[in-house]
Structure 1
Amino acid sequence: MSLLSFFTFFIFFFFTPTLASTEFDFGTLTLSSLKLLGDAHLNNGTVSLTRDLPVPNSGSGRALYSRPVRFRQPGNHSPASFRTFFSFSVTNLNPSSIGGGLAFVLSPDDDSLGDAGGSLGLAATATKFVAVEFDTLMDAEFKDINGNHVGVDLNSMVSAKVFDLGFINVDLKSGDTVNAWIEFDGSTTVLTVWVSYSNLKPKDPILTMNLDADRYFNDFMYVGFSGSTQGSTETHSVEWWSFSSFFPSSSAGAAAPPPPASPPPSIAPSVAQKESKSSSCHNGLCKENLGAVAGVVTAGAFFKRVKKLDTLGSEIIKMPKQFSYKELKAATKCFNANRIIGHGAFGTVYKGVMPENGEIVAVKRCSHSSQGKNEFLSELSIIGTLRHRNLVRLQGWCHEKGEILLVYDLMPNGSLDKALFEARMPLPWSHRRKILLGVASALAYLHQECENQVIHRDIKTSNIMLDEGFNARLGDFGLARQTEHDKSPDATVAAGTMGYLAPEYLLTGKATEKTDVFSYGAVVLEVASGRRPIEKDATGAGKGGVSSNLVEWVWTLHREGRLLLAADPRLENEFDEAEMRRVLMVGLACSNSDPLARPSMRSVVQMLVGDAEVPIVPTTKPNTGLSTSHSQLLLSLQDSVSDIDGIITISTSTSENSFSGIDIV
């Protein structure tokens, strides 16, 4: 333990105020911070409350945060407020067998375990408890309404209030992941529950009730989960959990924390300290795009500039952590194909479950080609100097046995690409605006605030990850280049993704901050319209028609005075028209064919927050010569590239502006 860690540990345990908030999630918990009772056990990075057996079994289990949480102030007994989010699934090898269920529980007791069957492992003694049950067994003894309901249990298995999940088309026994949010307001003593398949909290709760906190809370309570079976093969897994408690400012004299958000890019504190929330969703990064993550190193951890890109050698020093090949191999089950969750630039990404603490991470394994290793080394040499709240955090690295491995935080809400096009529910406008502002802030940092300017070269929605609060985290620096400020860029091999590439970059191979701005503009239009930059074989639909090129289509609507028709129809007009118009105009300004007419990313940030006006965007897209060539090139490449979302490199001859080849990377 470092001296700094020791003093942090010492201060926390001996000088923490009695009313300090408690915050933690699965990203910061370790084995020592979980207490498992009965059949509860860890299984592949999740907490299983009951046994996974091929034959029917009756049993119960409980998993608790090992430290008690203060729920009442000393003296006046004013209650704490709390928020929790968790994802869980119920599966059954034999769906016809009798179930059981699980519950989120608050109890002053961390040693007792309730019975199997319909009691959900809750009612063991006369001790008080508060539980929100997710019941899969209709038990007449407890006056259950059916075998698919949510209930609030107060010192009793007979629920004080219930809700039939059939009304919102949620089936607890479907095997699908279910998300739940539970909040208690200490100032109003109102308990509220939301449930959904989506990882977006629904607008309307399923349960709301007043709770006599003084009757059901002790000064300190344990929080966690309980579950049971009754002669069945039903299993109950908690896949993600985050929790925070605090005392309302009106009674404690201290302000409540802001809504759940991810931590700053620093080493996550251990659970022996005051934990920091980082994320709250079960899904991790989405399958195809989890590889699109890169990050920032923490304070005091830097890389030296890599002098030779064919070896790591001694040039790289002190990452946040140097992992061993053995532990990353174990975490990924020998890099099992079933653990693959994405493909990034020049590497494959695996879901990893760290054997020593059960933490879930993303492990990026460099391709064994010379180019792949060079890109990884380039990425390492760049991200060592970067720190920004809108960049994905790098946890550490490994270089053994000829392998180069990077370990990243797992982003709970996956990629922006998946959130836009594959989520059950449309991404709300407020989230989209916040995401675009976050990406703009990250790019302004890379372009203008770093010691050396960083050109990302691969800005796209699949490289933008989303944390718990749907804050943007820009990732994948495998194609990034670092230069001195105001230095003219060298011509190189153009690389990137179709639909996001600036026309001058395709023709010259020179990547500048303005080529990043163009890519960002494509992202803006994609986010606002819900359409991809290039839609192959588009036939035309809707009021404004659909073009294969998103920029061209939006510019046409702008010319015709119908710009707002570009708004994503899935939003169902639930947005501020002035905000939508501003965002679309920013997207067009960034997508200008003339690089000199594009704004800087610092200006874009000011435009999005309303501190600067969007520059006048001509109704007719400027024709710089490059524009025509760009459109023709896109159409020809579109016919040549089978995967238009894949990364391509285009070899160019800068003297003749001719193309010598196209390669899928």
Structure 2
Amino acid sequence: MASSSSELGFVFLLLFLSLLVASKPQQDSNFLFEGFNNSENHLNLEGATVVKPSGSLKLTNRSYNIVGHAFYYKPFQMLVNTTNTTKILKVSSFSTSFVFSIVPSSSGPEGFGLAFVIAPSTQFPWSSPGHLLGLVNSSNDGSPSNHLFVVEFDTVNGYRSQADSKGNHVGVNINGMNSTVNEPAAFFIEGTEAQKEEFSMEESDAVQAWIDYDGEKKIVNVTIAPISLPTKPSKPLISHPIDLHEVLKESMFVGFSASTGESKASSHYILGWSFSLNGPSAELNSSRLPEPPTKENDPSSTSFPWIKLAVAVLSALILLLIFSLCSLTLYRRYNNFENLEDWELDCPHRFRYRDLHVATKGFKESELIGIGGFGVVYKGVLASTGTEVAVKRIVRGSIQGMREFAAEIESLGRLRHKNLVNLQGWCKRKNDLLLVYDYISNGSLDSLLVNPSVVLSWDQRFNIIKGIANGLLYLHEEWEQVVIHRDIKTGNILIDEDLNARVGDFGLARLYDHGQVSHTTNVVGTIGYIAPELTRTGKASTSSDVYAYGVLLLEVVSERRPIDESGQFVLLDWVVENQSLGQIHDVVDPKLNLNYDEEEVELVLKLGLLCAQHRADLRPTMRQVIRYLNFDDPIPVTGAESSRMSSGFLEVVSASTISASYNLSSINSMSSRLVEAGRQPCTC
């Protein structure tokens, strides 16, 4: 009897667990949302919200110039290996179905629509609203580097034209907003050969869409119909051949994006959503979905003329009152009003100061994670998304605060590379100048090197060295302009959770066109990393970045500072001396306990001396540096004399400028415990 009870209990337990698993969204290859209550942990929302208690997902409201994103929180494997012996990748088939509702504005033109998106990231930091649907901007629209697959449900015509008009179409787009194929919103009536029934997506209470891609046949099918239609139409609205092999990456996110414009706005809702990889998506049960939002009646449609007149008079009085109040408010606050400057117009992703103040707990000292010559850095958590960010607060009273702020926005804001820090946006309010960028969990390379409880292995150090080189190569040669960083040092190299290097802090960066010469005339940087030619000409170049990189290489291997607190020890001299004595391995950090590759260590030390030569024309380019690090080319032999001349220069600079560096910014007096000796910014 006891055995029977035990077996019965085990059966009930299995049933309970199966029901529990079935009630949650599937995370491996499919999921199902019939309403979005309690789904926040499975969605990445930016500008979008879950409406309580209905459970509908609102992408945008009827405010102007806004964007809403909602993506499933985990990426899907969109490219798979077809065999176990080759690296040929095949595009996975996928299927999705969702129900959406568009509520146009009752007081003006509606727009701009929504889109189903497959993208490599859930972040679109420089995207624009309106016709671009919050996915791209005018400069990168259509770029193959976007890797976007988009099915748009557009309610405004006029993309790339002078005037807008009412739209009602479905389009399939690749990497931007130019549709490969589009059709007016319609569905095929059952029982007819080719009779197509058009309908308005805005006027319908809700619309169901089905998107199916066959990875074998390379065909995408798009079908839509009003939610009132009992079954899915048997014939798709769009059936188009398209090869996504060059569009999709191996790991991609799926979700939605919607936007409004400067004078057109609608609310965009998702009521239910299912998705499946390599199989049909689950059917949505309309009885379980949230009720579609109410469509508001247009007041201008009333049949009573006297009501129209009363509304018109009342509206005029209200407008007059609002105008008077605004005029009074502007008059009282005239002195505090800030006009946007020219450089601000090119940097559209502006955060609200209030959001950053809340994210950093009022810029509380406990959230302070770093300090430098032009400002302090706080850790923050954005309340809207829960995303961790780093907020750099620049001291406007510093010598070059405003100019460096603009430079960092212009340069870092448009740079994109895996070994650079990603700028998310900015904020300017009175005397507060703020940059918001990715929070890098492990902090700076400098903090890891001096931390006695952390020992980076040689493999980790060698990987970091290569990552910095790749980032500098991108800056010097691979971006649209040449970017001179001008402050390469371990304190400006951040290390992410995978121990990869990210070059950051572009406050001193300068840009110029390829084929031209830099025209910078002032000496900036950090003592110990400044190239000797800068004191003679004041002109920074890619070679001066290479010099600083060379010093950094010696520092990573030895875990010694370029110049000690007394100014008597110069790292470059020490390494040259050990090299001349045949004791080059004596400079290796003793904490490695001889656990390193001798050939790689010797290569890095020789490369550091090669990069830190006195003569700029003898230093390698970053492309040559990478070839040396990959053992593609033998490294040239360097003479000790040129390195000693460079070291002598460091002693002169140290004696003449280190005092000036302490006065560079009043920020140093705020928290002297965070400023380490030998790391002070220098400007002459």
- Give the TM-score, by structure 1 length: 0.50
Structure number having the greater helix percentage: 2
